[in-house]
Structure 1
Amino acid sequence: MTGTAAPVSYKGWAGIKRAFGTPSALTMAMLGFGSGLPFLLIASQTLSTRLRDVGLDLGSIGLISLASFFYLLKFLWAPVLDRYALPLLAFMGRRRSWLLASQVLVLVGLVALAFVRPEQGVAPLVCWVLVASFAGATQDSVVDAYRIEIAPDASQAALAATYTLGYRIGLILAGAGALYLAQFEGWIVAYLAMASLMLLPILTTVFCREPARPEALVQRRIDVAEAFIQPIASFFTRNGVALAVGLLAFVGLFKFPDQVIGVMAGPFYLDSGFDKADIATVSKLFGVWMGIGGAFLGGVAVAAFGFRRMLLVAALGVALSNLAFLLMAHNPGQLWAFYAALSADNLFQGFAGTVLVAFMSSLTDRNFTATQYALLVSLANLPGKFVGGVSGYLVEATSYSTFFLLSAVTVVPTLLLLAWLWPRLSDRSAPAAG
C-alpha cells in the first residue's frame, strides 16, 4: 500500500461488505459492542425493567432514569478528550488512553450495580448509575471521535453500520441476555455477567491503533478555555449562524418520538402481561436483530440516495412506528402484537440511527471531532430524555394508548425544520462520486 493509492469506494452494499474486511471495521464493531453493552443496564430499559420488577412505581422509575444524564452532557468535557491524553496512560495516545480508562470504569460500575438493592433504598443505585453513566458517556465520545478520525468521510456510512452491528449485539446481550439471566439466576448474576463482557472492548482498545492527530492540533498548544470555545465557534463559522442553529435544532428533535417512550417501554411490556423471558425473546433478541437489519438498510440507503431524502424517511418512520405500540395496548398479552410492534419500532430505529450517525459525522470538523460530535449526540438525546423523565406521570395521568399517540405527533416540528433545511442540505445529501 502507498500513500498515493486511489481512494477506496465505500458506496452501496458492495462498499459496506468491503468495509467489513478492513481492520478499522472490526475494531469499530468491537468498540460499538462496548458502547452498546452498558447503555440498557444503566440508562434505559433493562434498568427500568429491573426497578419495576422489584416494585418501584412508574413515577420513581422515570425520575431515576435522569441519573444517567451524563450521556446528555458529554460535550461539556469532550474538549479535554480532544486536546489531551489521560496522563497516566498518555503512552497509549490521545484516544486510546481515555477509552481504556472509561471502559474499565464502566466495568467497575456494573459490578457495583450488581450488588445494590433498589427496593431497600435508591440512593446507592443512583450514585453508581451516575458513575457508570459518566464512564459510558466518556467511552461513547471517544469511540465516536475514533470512528470519524480512523477513516475517510466516504466510508463513514459503512463504518456507522459496522459500529451499529457491534452496538446492537451489545444491546442484545444487555437486554435479552441480562433478562434471561435475571429470570432464572437473579439480577446480581445478570449484572456480573454483563460486567465481564466489557473485557472484550477493553482488549480491543489495548491492541487497536491510535488515529493520526490532526495537523492543526500538532502545530500549537491550545489552552483549556480555547479548547471549549473553538469547537463551537468553528461549527458556527463553517455553517453560518442561521444554518448552524437550524442544524442543531433538527438534530435535537430528530429522534424525539423514540426518546420519549424509551423509559416506559420496559414497564409497558410488564404491564401488558409479559414476563422477563418474553421481553428478552421479543424485545431484546428478535427486536435487536430487526434493528441491525434496519441499520444496514440505512447505510445502503445513505450511500445510494444521500442524506436528505433518507432523513425524511427516517424521521417519519421513527414517529409512525410508535403507533405500532397501540397493537400491544389493545391486545395485552398477545405475542403476535408484541412481535408486530417491535418489528416496526426496531427496524426504523436502526434505520434512523445509521442515517443520523452518518449525517452528524458529516457535520463535524476533524480538529474538534469529540467535542462537536458529542454536542450533536447530546442534542439528539437531550429533549426526549427530559420528557422521558416525567413520562411515567403522563402515562399514569392518561393511558399508554394516549401516550403513544402523543409521542407520534411530536414529529411535526422536526418535519417543519427539515422543510426549511431542505434546500440548504442539497450539497450534503448528494452521494459521493466514484
Structure 2
Amino acid sequence: MSPHQKGAPQAGRLAATFSALRDKRVLAMLFLGFSAGMPILLIFSSLSLWLREAGVERGAVTFFSWAALGYSFKFIWAPLIDRIPVPVLTRLLGRRRGWMLVAQLAVICAIVLMALSDPSQGRDALVTMALAAVMLGFSSATQDIVIDAYRIEIAETRMQGVLSAAYIAGYRVGMVVAGAGALYLAARFGSTAEGYSYIAWQLTYLVMAGVMLIGVATTLVVSEPVGQARADNGCGAFDYLRLVLVFLVSAAAFVAAFFVAAASFTAVKQMLGDDALLNFLLETLHFGLAVASALAVGWLLVRFGAVDRSIARATWVEPALDFFSRYGLRTALLLLALVGLYRISDIVLGVIANVFYQDIGFTKPEIATAVKTFGVVVSIAGGFIGGLMATRFGVMRILMLGAVLSAVTNLLFIGLAHIGHSLPMLYVTVSADNLAGGLASAAFVAFLSSLTNVSFTAVQYALFSSLMTLLPKVLGGYSGSMVDGIGYPNFFLFTTLIGVPVLVLVWLAQRSLDVAESPRPPD
C-alpha cells in the first residue's frame, strides 16, 4: 500500500472527528456536563470554607461531607429513574428530559435553601443547612443518573467518545465555577477568615443557583432521545409506583434506624473517649446497622407482596447476580474491594484540604487560583496522560502507577504543613496531587468500564461508581477529628499508608483477571 493510500483513511477519520465536534449534541453535553459539575463542590470544599468562616468546629465541618453520600447510593434508585415516568413532564418533554428538569429544579431549590441558612446562628441553622446539603447531594446524583442515560441514548457508539469528552470538559468547568468562582465571589462580597459575612456567602450561593439555569435552559431546548428500548415486561405504572413506595419505606427505615440508635452510639463514644479510630469504627457499625435495617424492611415488603417479585428482582438483583456469575465469588469480592478502596487516599485527604490551606495562612483567592483553577487544569492534563498511557501500556499497569502516585504525593502535604504559607510549595503540592489524581482517575474509569456487562451497563456502572466513594467519604467525615487528635503531618502520613493495601489489591486483581499486557512495540 502506498503512503498516499495509507494516509487516506487517516485523513478520513480526522475529518470525521472534526465533523463530530460540530454536532449540536456535543455542545448540549458540554452544557449538561457543566450543570452536573456545579453542585458537588457546593457541598464539599466551598461549603467547608463557609462553615469554617462561620465559626463551626473543624470536626463538624468535615461531617458535612457526608451530605455527598447520595452519589455513593445512586445505584439504588437509578433503576427507578430509568423506568418510572414523571407525571405531566414525561408527556411534555419525554422521560429523560422530564427527570432531568425535575433534578435540576431540585438542585436549584437546595442551593437556595442553603443560601437562606446562616450556620453561625446555632444548632437549628446547622440542621437546616445539613438537610439542604443532603437534598443537594440527592438531587445532584439523580441529575447525574439521567444525564448519563441521556448521553448514551442520543447517539450511536461512534459518537460516545466525543460526547463523553464534552461532558467531562463541561463538568470540570462547572467545578471551577462552583469552587474557584464561589471563593472569589465570597471574598469579593466581603467575607474573610477574620471577618465572616453571612450576606457575602448568601449572595454567592444565590449566584450559583442562578448559574444552574444554564442546565435548565439546555434541558428545555435539546431533543428527547428516540427509539428507547425498555424491557418493561408488561408492567404498568401502578407496579412501578409500588416499587417506589418500597424504596421510600426502606429509605425511611434506614433514617429511623440511624437516628434511633444515634443516642446509644453517642453515649458509647463518650465512654470510650475522643479516639478518632474508635469513633470511626463505631460510626461504621452504626451506619451498617441502619443499612441492614433498610435491606431487611425492603426484603420483607417484597416477601409479603408489596411489589411484584419479578420486578424487584429485575431491578436490583439481576445486575448483581450477573457480576458474580461472570467473575466467581472470590474474584468478584476482590474486584469490589479494589473498587471501594482505590480512591481512598485522595478522597479522605481532599475533604479537609481547603481547611488545611486556610489554617496555614492561605487566603481564599490564593486557594481559588492554585487549587480550583490551576489544579483543575493539571487534573485534566493528568486525565489525558493517563488515558494515553492506559491505551499504550495497559489499564492494569497504569492503575498500579496511579495508586502509587496517589499515595506518595500525599507526602508533599507534610512538607507544606511544616513550611507553612509558601506559594511555590503550594503549587508544587497541588500540581503533583492533581496530576496523580487525574492519571489515576482515567485508568480507574477504564477499569470500571471493563468490568461492566453491556446488558446492565447503567446499573452496574452506577454501582461501581457509588462503591468507589462510599467508604472514603464516610472515613473523610472523620478527617477533622483525626487532625484535631494527631495533627496535620501525621494525618497526611495516615492518608499515604491507607493507600498501601490498594497496591496489593491491584496486584491481586491483575493476577486473578490473568491480565498479560505488554507495551506495544515502537512503530
TM-score, scaled relative to structure 1: 0.88
Aligned counterpart for 2:208 among listed residues 194, 213, 226? 194
Task: Report the Cα offset of residue 48 of structure 1.
Answer: 0.6
Residue 87 of structure 1 aligns to a residue in which SS? coil
Give a deviation string over 1:110-137, Cα, whole Å, max 9, x none. 1121121011130110111111111011
The verdict on how the C-alpha distance between 1:40 and 1:196 changes in structure 2, with shifts beyond 3 A counting, is same
Deviation at 1:331, TM superposition (A): 1.4
Q: What is the deviation of 1:385?
A: 0.5
Distance 1:357 1:371 in 2: 15
Matched, 1:138 2:226: no
Equivalent position of 1:289 in the other structure: 377
Relative contact order higher in (CA < 8 Å, ≥ 6 apart): 1
Matched, 1:208 2:222: yes
On the 8 A contact 2:45/2:354 being kept in 1, the answer is yes
Shift of 1:350: 2.1
1:374-409 superposed Cα distances (whole Å, 9 cap, x missing partner): 211111101111110111111111111111111011
For 1:64, the equivalent position in structure 2 comes to 64
Q: Comparing 379-388 with 26-35, which one deviates more in the overlay?
A: 26-35
What residue ranges of structure 1 are gaps of 5+ in the alignment?
Answer: 1-7
- CA distance in structure 1 between the aligned counterparts of 2:170 and 2:482, rounded to whole angstroms: 34
1:126-166 alpha-carbon deviations (Å, 9 max, x no partner): 11111111101111222233344555667766654433211
Say whether residues 1:422 and 2:510 are aligned partners.
yes
Residue number in structure 1 paired with 2:231 = 217
Separation in 2, partners of 1:428, 1:254: 21
The corresponding residue for 1:55 is 55
Identical columns (%) = 41
Displacement of 1:368 after TM fit?
3.2
Structure 1: distance between partners of 2:14 and 2:507: 29
Letter aligned with residue 37 of structure 1: M
- Which deviations, in whole Å up to 9, do the C-alpha atoms of 1:37-93 show, x marking residues without a partner? 110102x11111111111111111122222332122111111112323333322334
Contact 1:164 1:295 in 2 (8 A): no
| Cα distance in 2 for residues equivalent to 1:252 and 1:155 | 30
Please report how far the alpha carbon of residue 169 of structure 1 lies from its aligned counterpart in structure 2 after TM superposition. 0.7
Aligned equivalent of 2:441, options 353, 370, 373:
353
CA distance in 2, matches of 1:357, 1:209: 28
Work out which of the residue numbers 472, 475, 481 in structure 2 matches 1:384.
Answer: 472
Amino acid paired to 2:505? L
For 1:14 and 1:419, the matched residues in 2 are separated by 41
Q: Does 1:314 align with 2:389?
A: no
Number of residue pairs the alignment of both structures matches = 422
CA distance in 2, matches of 1:15, 1:273: 51
Label 1:384 to 1:310 Cα distance change in 2 as closer, same or farther (>3 A).
Answer: same
Shift of 1:357: 2.5
- CA offset at residue 214 of structure 1? 6.5
**1:26-425 alignment runs, 5 A limit:** 26-42=27-43, 44-91=44-91, 92-121=93-122, 122-150=126-154, 159-185=163-189, 186-211=200-225, 215=229, 217=231, 221=235, 223-425=311-513
Q: Which structure 2 residue ranges, 5 or more long, are not aligned?
A: 1-8, 190-199, 236-309
Worse-superposed segment, 227-236 or 159-168: 159-168
CA distances 1:329-350 after superposition (whole Å, capped 9, x unpaired)? 1111111111111111112222
Contact 1:103 1:201 in 2 (8 A): yes
Question: Which one-letter code corresponds to 2:317 in the other structure?
Answer: I
- Are the equivalent residues in 2 in contact too, given 1:83–1:227 (CA < 8 A)? no
1:253–1:214 Cα change, 3 Å: farther
Deviations 1:171-225 (A, max 9, x none): 1111110001001111112111111111122222233344466656266546245
Separation in 2, partners of 1:207, 1:116: 33
C-alpha spacing 1:104/1:200, structure 2 compared with 1 (3 Å): same
Q: Residue type matched to 2:209 in 1?
A: A
For 2:319, give the aligned amino acid.
P
Secondary structure in 2 aligned to 1:217?
coil
3-state DSSP of counterpart to 1:399 = helix
Provide closer, same or farther for how the CA distance between residues 77 and 300 of structure 1 changes in structure 2, counting only shifts above 3 A.
same
Contact 1:66–1:385 (Cα < 8 Å) also in 2: yes
SS for the counterpart of 1:398 is: helix
Partner amino acid, structure 1, of 2:401: V
Q: Give yes or no for contact 1:160–1:358 (8 Å, CA) kept in 2.
A: no
Q: Distance in 2 between matches of 1:19 and 1:418?
A: 36
Cα offset, 1:426, TM superposition? 5.7
Q: CA 1:313/1:377 → structure 2, altered by over 3 Å: closer, same or farther?
A: same
- 1:5 corresponds in structure 2 to none
**Aligned-partner residue type, residue 384 of structure 1:** P
Shifted more, 132-141 versus 14-23: the winner is: 14-23
Q: State whether residues 64 and 126 of structure 1, in contact with CA within 8 Å, keep that contact through their aligned partners in structure 2.
A: yes
Q: Which has the higher mean CA deviation after the structures are superposed, 28-37 or 174-183?
A: 28-37
Does 348-357 or 255-264 show the bigger shift?
348-357
Letter in 1 for 2:172: R
Alpha-carbon RMSD across the aligned residues, in angstroms, is: 2.9
Q: Distance in 1 between matches of 2:437 and 2:16?
A: 22
